[in-house]
Amino acid sequence: MREAQKVLLEYVILFCETASGNLSVSEKHYPLPTIHYPLSTTHYPLPTMLVRLLELIRFSHTLFALPFALLAAAMAWSANLRSDPPVPFRPLDLLGILVCMATARGAAMAFNRLADRHLDALNPRTRSRHLPSGELSLVSVIAFTVACSLGFVAGTLLFLPGNPIPLLASLPVLAYLFGYSYAKRFTALSHFWLGGALMLAPLAAWVAIRAELSLAPIVLGAAVMFWVAGFDIIYACQDYEFDVKRRLRSVPARFGVSAALRLAALCHLGMVVLLFLLPLVYGGFGAIYLTAVAAIAVLLVYEHAIIRPDDLSRVNRAFFHVNAVVSVGLLAAGAADLVL
């Protein structure tokens, strides 16, 4: 039975890699390491297993995208209250946004770890991650990916019967999120693919509540896309040598670290410009929001000031600390402006 399970698992993995093109690219450009991933981790108690899985997907990083989804939701709820007749707030909408955000991100991150496990094993920076190190098994991560995917689709049911759009869009959204994991195999624009994935957070929240798409969430979503693409380019500078050696495509590998940091700065400039333009297409924001955007601009300048092409040691500080303040701070300021 165990051997049959192992064979079935290998066929599933082979199918996924072949369908995505990952297998052929890997064989062409670099030899994959021989790694015998454990099939199960039954020696872990359930609480420990959950902790390991949350570590795998870096659950705390949900703070990056969730505040933008909640800000778009607050904008949509405010617009509903100003409509004629007013549309009341539905607690199930809030629950649906929280469930869908957590499960979609969990599925995307777990799938990314599956897709990149061979690369992670080769990269000194990532070889200690849960799959290459054997801390989690393939079965457990695949099961977690499937569970999160099903949870995401189930979460869209909370918007029924009034709004079927989230349910209809759930599978295409998952396909787009999963596609990012293979983007760097064929395009240096993978950073913008990731930005587009997080751009979906405010767009989806608005559509889930309003059942329509308008310019305001598009502007906010575009700001998120440039913000994420910018910091992902900075983060990718750490893997410049590895990406070049393995012929993976990224902005640093294509143009060099110095040019990549300049492009990241341009992306963040675009983000700030779009955030300043948002009140022109959405009338609910005022002085509090604009002050927060100005503060975000200062933080982004600081982020770029502490990173140099010859010194990337402070990338993690820029990536984690500054970005968490940016997202949570903008949500707090935007919500305050809408309420006061």
In contact, 335 and 74? CB cutoff 8 Å: yes
Residue 73 to residue 217: CA distance in whole angstroms: 9
Residue 261 to residue 255: CA distance in whole angstroms: 10
Neighbours of 232 (CB within 10 A): 21
Kindly state the average pLDDT of the residues 258-284: 96
Question: Residue type at 263?
Answer: L
Kindly state the average pLDDT of the residues 321-336: 92
Q: What pLDDT is recorded for position 317?
A: 67
pLDDT digits (tens, 9 = 90+) for 6-47: 434 443 444 444 444 444 344 444 444 455 555 444 467 777
The residue whose two tokens read 């990083």 is 61
Please tell me the least confidently modeled range out of 58-67, 248-257, 297-306.
58-67
Query: Torsion over CA of 32, 35, 38 and 44, rounded to 10 degrees?
Result: -100
* Mean pLDDT computed over every residue of the chain: 87
Give which of 213, 263, 210 is closest to 236, Cα–Cα: 263
Q: What pLDDT is recorded for position 35?
A: 53
pLDDT digits (tens, 9 = 90+) for 288-297: 999 999 999 9
In contact, 271 and 230? CB cutoff 8 Å: yes
Question: Residue type at 91?
Answer: P
Domains of the chain: 45-339 (1.10.357.140)
- Answer yes or no: is pLDDT of 84 > 70: yes
The residue whose two tokens read 């998120």 is 224
pLDDT digits (tens, 9 = 90+) for 189-224: 999 999 999 999 999 999 999 999 999 999 999 999
What pTM did the predictor assign?
0.86
Kindly state the average pLDDT of the residues 163-185: 97
Residue 270 to residue 109: CA distance in whole angstroms: 26
Write the CA distances from 216 to 173, 222, 329, integer angstroms: 21, 10, 19
Residue 274 to residue 271: CA distance in whole angstroms: 5
- Answer yes or no: is pLDDT of 2 > 80: no
- Alpha helices, DSSP H only, in the chain? 2-20, 22-29, 46-56, 62-82, 91-115, 117-122, 138-156, 165-179, 190-210, 215-236, 240-245, 251-255, 257-281, 287-305, 315-316, 323-339
- The rounded Cα 57 to chain-centroid distance in angstroms is 10
| Confidence bin at 315 (pLDDT 50/70/90) | confident
| Confidence bin at 5 (pLDDT 50/70/90) | very low
The DSSP annotation for 289-339 comes to HHHHHHHHHHHHHHHHHT-BTTB-TTHHIIIIIIHHHHHHHHHHHHHHHHH
Q: What pLDDT is recorded for position 29?
A: 44
Give which of 313, 315, 278 is closest to 296, Cα–Cα: 278
- Answer yes or no: is pLDDT of 173 > 60: yes
Please tell me the least confidently modeled range out of 24-38, 105-119, 180-194.
24-38
Question: Residue type at 106?
Answer: G
Q: What pLDDT is recorded for position 110?
A: 96
Q: Supply φ then ψ for residue 206, to 5 degrees.
A: -65, -45
Question: Residue type at 135?
Answer: E
Q: What pLDDT is recorded for position 43?
A: 63
**Residue 233: which residues within 8 A CB-CB, separation 6 or more?**
191, 250, 251, 252, 260, 261, 263, 264, 267
- DSSP code of residue 132: T
